[in-house]
Amino acid sequence: MRPRAALALALGLVLFLTGCGDPGKTQSRAGGPPAATATPKPKATPQPHPSRTTRPKLRPLPRTLPAGLRRSSGDRGIALTFDDGPDPRWTPQVLAQLRAAHVTATFCLIGRQARRYPQLVARIVREGHQLCNHSWRHDLNLGRRPVAEIRADLLRTNQAIRAAVPHARIAWFRQPGGRWTPEEVTVARQLGMRSLHWSVDPQDWDEPTAATIIKRVESAARPGSIVLMHDGGGDRSQTMAACRQLIPDLNRRFRISRLR
């Protein structure tokens, strides 16, 4: 055999003995057993971040207040309503003033507050006042949410009130901020509650002076008015001061009466 041909044959034999009989494996550099070829991992499907999940789009508010809202006391007397309680500081003061004047009012209760202060809910009922559901957490956009959410919110609030006073009569519902929708009025009616609006709003939630609150109420009050004030949700010291004059004055001028 010629030298060149012998060299080629030897080279081919070496390649065969050390080469790649198994194409799926390669030898390690240290001459150890073949290592498996790495298989690429499939790419994970990206998941949306929890904070980026979208809630159902809110319905727009109607241009006018929907039908079915109560905006009159039902007779020539005036009705007083107090929102956003019960509050351990302010609600007892309102109750004391009402008791001194021998009149009753309607308390629009926040569900979370009712759960936290059940003894005040029981006192409100014990002293002859009416109850109103004012949503679980004062959700200004409650009426724009899906109907199932509206119903769940109102039911949860009623349950908190009745945990304090079993079999309590909750005749009314008031949407926070007066941002009513027809869907909300319908759900409240289905749960046995009438929708309660107002006709006199001194905007005491903004904490004006007692003199301003008195002026706003007395200038707007008429026979049959429903007056909106607050016994919770902030510093109500000016409201309490105003009520010391307003309650006897309104009772003398119009007679403060229960909602009918």
- The residues with which 82 forms a beta bridge, in sequence order, are 107, 229
Task: Tell me, yes or no, if 230 is annotated catalytic.
Answer: yes
DSSP-assigned letters across all residues of 29-47: TTS-SPEEPPPPPPPPPP-
150 touches 142 (CB < 8 A): yes
Q: In what order do the strands lie in the sheet with 106-109?
A: 69-70, 194-196, 170-173, 130-133, 106-109, 79-85, 226-230
Check 129, 138, 197, 230 and give the catalytic one: 230
Q: Report the candidate in 20, 79, 116, 55 with the shortest Cα–Cα distance to residue 226.
A: 79
Check 83, 139, 153, 231 and give the catalytic one: 83
For the chain, the distance separating the N- and C-terminal CA atoms, rounded to the nearest angstrom, is: 123
Task: Tell me, yes or no, if 204 is annotated catalytic.
Answer: no
Please report which helix (H) or strand (E) contains residue 230, including its range.
strand 226-230
Catalytic residue positions?
Answer: 83, 230
